[in-house]
């Protein structure tokens, strides 16, 4: 599978200079596809196309934008099985999860953009003036590999709806689903230059996008360290920078909750997408008196997980995305052992069920303390840390003792108590008692988990400037 061209100015074009990289199937460790690596020249060509297109596309009527989005949605639905299959091949997500969550949720962002755009008031009277909201301009998007299409759609859909033009760099580890989305967008008939895609690595293409003077806004999803670099590069041209970065979310199981049920649900939530989620509840806080109950419940939950070929519909957990990610997680599992945490389940090495691929044993540590690496660093793999507390105040203090603030989770038999605790957690989202992930509500973080919000109305308004017009008669 060779995908060597970039989508620029409404056409698939050759890169400015030949350079390729292989795409590795993480379940087999075999290269099955290749893409071109872009350069600053490719980025500049895409940005200039987006700049030319912006003047006209920013004035396109709401009705026409809704028609474009509807065509994309129809094409997305028709290609959903193939989009899911590509994500399974490129980043190892089990096919059932790729279909029901990865691809379906990405589709939702386009549907949500239609819902928001259809009723949005771009102008309103305020005091003696008019408040007008206008598209911000050319947007540069740098997206990750763990939810390769979801994170693309959560940016592209509202930006198109708002009237912006786009230069996208998907992850070079998992670009194929985004390239199929580009084909869908091409078939939807958007004007040339409105949407552009350039593949490449962060050091070249990512930095060229972040620093380009003709890009008005950067939206980045990835690690906190990379987000800091993007923000510094963007500062010279005073771009708007929206970031969704790392997380180390706490799952507070209060003493009135069903401990066993809450622990088992928390283990499975932590291992979703093989633990490669920025908001995974990787720190589980349980009353010290329930330590042994929690350990046993965690062991049972781990035993329920079926590991195997991600193309098998019965597989629950696939591999990590790459050798480097596998090595990082193995290092942190070893660090947990060396720091004195109790190994409740799992441990170093591959699961017994597989002999190749970047698979990690689902691992649970107990008696984890706040100074341990596994309690402080984002692991991005199927590793759960169980921490003990004596009082509710101590549990909240532990939950907030992190540089991150993306999400929190609270379990309690009393919804009002859960709500009071949620109000004290310094995070952009808090889930009470197993609440589902609602993508119409804003998503983003406090502290080093980022700036700005994605999804729904809040995500849409990230792509709008606010203008005040004074002196126009009412």
Query: How far is it, in rounded angstroms, from Cα 71 to Cα 12?
Result: 20
CB 158 within 8 A of CB 459: yes
Query: How far is it, in rounded angstroms, from Cα 166 to Cα 51?
Result: 9
Phi, psi of 7 (to 5 degrees): -100, 105
Q: 461 catalytic, yes or no?
A: no
Q: Give the active site residue among 244, 378, 454, 462.
A: 244
* Sign of the dihedral through C-alpha 145, 431, 306, 297: positive
Q: What is the DSSP letter of 288?
A: G
**Beta bridge pairs of residue 34:** 2, 22
Query: How far is it, in rounded angstroms, from Cα 412 to Cα 259?
Result: 9
Closest CA to 160 of 392, 402, 459, 405: 459
Q: Give the active site residue among 207, 278, 454, 462.
A: 278
Q: Cβ contacts of residue 248 below 8 Å, gap of 6+? A: 282, 283, 375, 376, 377, 378, 402, 403, 404
Q: Hunting for tokens 């075999």 — which residue is that? A: 30
Residues in the chain: 474
Q: 67 catalytic, yes or no?
A: no
Q: Is 60 exposed, middle or buried (0-12, 13-18, 19+ CB in 10 A)?
A: middle
Closest CA to 381 of 334, 311, 437: 334
Going by their DSSP bridges, the two strands 129-135 and 30-36 should be labelled as: unpaired
- DSSP sequence for 398-425: HHH-SSEESEEEEE-S-HHHHHHHHHHS
Q: What is the DSSP letter of 289?
A: G
Catalytic residue positions, numbered: 244, 278
């Amino acid at each position: 599978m060779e995908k060597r061209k970039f989508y620029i100015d409404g056409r698939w074009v050759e890169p400015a200079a030949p350079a390729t990289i292989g795409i590795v199937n993480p379940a087999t460790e075999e290269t099955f596809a290749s893409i071109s690596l872009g350069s600053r020249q490719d980025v500049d060509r895409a940005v200039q196309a987006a700049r030319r297109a912006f003047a006209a596309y920013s004035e396109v009527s709401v009705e026409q934008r809704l028609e474009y989005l509807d065509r994309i949605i129809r094409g997305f639905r028709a290609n959903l099985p193939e989009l899911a299959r590509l994500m399974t091949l490129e980043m190892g997500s089990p096919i059932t999860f790729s279909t029901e969550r990865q691809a379906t949720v990405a589709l939702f962002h386009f549907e949500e953009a239609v819902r928001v755009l259809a009723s949005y008031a771009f102008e309103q009277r305020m005091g003696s003036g008019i408040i007008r909201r206008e598209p911000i301009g050319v947007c540069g998007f740098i997206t990750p590999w763990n939810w390769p299409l979801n994170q693309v759609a959560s940016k592209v859909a509202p930006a198109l709806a708002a009237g912006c033009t786009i230069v996208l760099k998907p992850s070079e580890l998992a670009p194929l689903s985004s390239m199929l989305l580009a084909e869908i967008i091409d078939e939807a008939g958007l004007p040339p230059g409105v949407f552009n895609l350039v593949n490449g690595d962060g050091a070249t293409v990512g930095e060229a996008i972040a620093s380009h003077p003709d890009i008005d806004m950067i939206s980045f999803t990835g690690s906190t360290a990379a987000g800091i670099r993007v923000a510094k590069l963007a500062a010279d041209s005073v771009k708007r920078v929206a970031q969704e970065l790392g997380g180390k979310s706490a799952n507070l199981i209060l003493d009135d909750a069903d401990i066993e049920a809450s622990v088992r649900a928390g283990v499975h939530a932590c291992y979703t997408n093989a633990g490669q989620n920025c908001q995974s509840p990787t720190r589980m806080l349980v009353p010290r008196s329930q330590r042994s109950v929690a350990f046993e419940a965690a062991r049972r939950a781990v035993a329920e997980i079926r590991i195997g070929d991600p193309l098998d519909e019965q597989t629950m957990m696939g591999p990590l995305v790459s050798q480097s990610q596998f090595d990082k997680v193995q290092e942190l599992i070893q660090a947990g052992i060396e720091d004195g945490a109790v190994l409740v389940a799992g441990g170093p090495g591959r699961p017994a069920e597989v002999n190749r691929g970047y698979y990690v044993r689902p691992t649970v540590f107990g008696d984890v303390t706040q100074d341990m690496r596994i309690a402080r660093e984002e692991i991005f793999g199927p590793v759960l840390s169980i921490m003990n507390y004596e009082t509710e105040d101590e549990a909240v203090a532990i939950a907030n003792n992190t540089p991150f603030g993306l999400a929190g989770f609270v379990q309690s038999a009393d919804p009002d108590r859960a709500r009071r605790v949620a109000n004290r957690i310094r995070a952009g989202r808090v889930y009470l008692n197993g609440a589902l992930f609602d993508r119409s509500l804003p998503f983003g973080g406090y502290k080093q988990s980022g700036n700005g919000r994605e999804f729904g109305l809040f995500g849409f308004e990230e792509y709008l400037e606010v203008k005040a017009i004074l002196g126009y008669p009412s």
